[in-house]
Amino acid sequence: MFDYQLHHIVVTWLRYAGDIIKNSFERDIWIDTKESDRDLVTEMDRFLEKDLVQRIRSGFPGHRIISEEGFGDTVRDTKGFIWTIDPIDGTMNYVKQRENFGTMIGLFYNGNPIAGYLYTPMDDKLIYGIVGEGVFVNERRLKPMDVSHLKDSILLTSNEYLLRNDLNLQEIHAAAFSSRATGASILKFMQVIEGKAATFVMPHSHVWDFAAGWAICEALGMKCTQSDGSPLSILQGSSLVVANPTVHQEVLEIINQ
């Protein structure tokens, strides 16, 4: 039985985090780089992750946490409840655009998706999925737009990978109606989940970048797998293909041809 008190805690925390992020534009924020000059982290990423981690530890002492900025646990097995947290997905957009970013939270039990949350504060949009219950957009049950084939709809990826032709992305681009690069996993997951794009394909994605979206796909009956079709795991980063079952099969055939 899904714990709706936990759900309420997550949803109210997302709005709280969103308000803090919006207020951060009123002052200078501290920005640093991680592995590369283009991999940004800000004081807001760290503050928000630390805050949520503390709340989980105090409210759910047995739960473990996989998170982007290092305040979580070192997780080597999937036993019990595990949270995944990306406090600001699309940090570059947060810094450079002040929009097109958001917070992603996933919840897993024994490695299986239980619930996922995607929240973009600038347009106050919340998509969540609870496995066995369904998917909701701003508290309305989602009716996804119909996407019958790749050729009728849009590929979402990153231009770096498209230009390198990783995973045959240029073939997928040519087979699709068009392609878009929006610069944050959260936006690409939202568009595919709502049927506004046919597929989201990435040669590499971190656990906190795909876990919440994966859980929502699971709640919706949408496919979210590695690029060879094998299942994802919250224990390791992976390639990623997200689509409804028909388009997912089309994309896998192009990748593995």
Binding flag, residue 170, a copy of itself (CB under 8 A): yes
In this structure, are residues 44 and 29 in contact, taking their beta carbons and an 8 Å threshold?
yes
Sole residue written with tokens 């595990």: 82
Stretch 108-127 residues interacting with a copy of itself (CB under 8 A) = 123
Please state the length of the chain. 257
CB-based contacts of 15, cutoff 8 Å, min separation 6:
119
Supply the minimum distance, in Å, between the C-beta of residue 249 and a copy of itself: 20
Q: How far is the CB of 235 from a copy of itself (least distance, A)?
A: 29
Q: Of residues 54, 112, 178, 256, which one binds a copy of itself by CB under 8 A?
A: 178
Site residues (CB under 8 A) for a copy of itself, limited to 203-242? none
Judged by CB under 8 A, which of 22, 34, 98, 149 binds a copy of itself? Answer: 98
- Select from 14, 66, 104, 162 the one that contacts a copy of itself (CB under 8 A): 162
- Select from 163, 164, 228, 231 the one that contacts a copy of itself (CB under 8 A): 163
206: how many CB neighbours lie within 10 A of its CB?
A: 17
Among 173, 175, 226, 235, binds a copy of itself (CB under 8 A): 173
- Shortest spacing between CB 58 and a copy of itself, in angstroms: 37
Residue 7 binds a copy of itself, judged by CB under 8 A: no
Which residue of 19, 43, 164, 181 would you call a contact of a copy of itself, by CB under 8 A? 181
Cβ-based neighbour number of residue 145 at 10 Å: 11
Q: Report whether 106 contacts 211 (CB < 8 A).
A: yes
Exactly one of 111, 144, 183, 237 binds a copy of itself (CB under 8 A); that residue is 183
Q: Which long-range contacts (CB under 8 A, 24 or more apart) does 174-182 make?
A: 175/150, 175/151, 175/250, 175/254, 176/150, 176/151, 177/150, 177/151, 177/152, 177/153, 178/154, 179/154, 179/155, 180/154, 180/155, 180/156, 181/156, 181/157, 182/100, 182/156
Judged by CB under 8 A, the chain residues 55 through 74 that form the site for a copy of itself are none
Q: Give the number of residues in contact with a copy of itself, rule: CB under 8 A.
A: 27
Q: Calculate the alpha carbon distances from 26 to 15, 20, 21, 47 in Å.
A: 18, 10, 10, 17
Residue ranges in contact with a copy of itself by CB under 8 A: 38, 92, 96-99, 123, 145, 152-154, 159-160, 162-163, 170, 173, 177-183, 191, 196-197
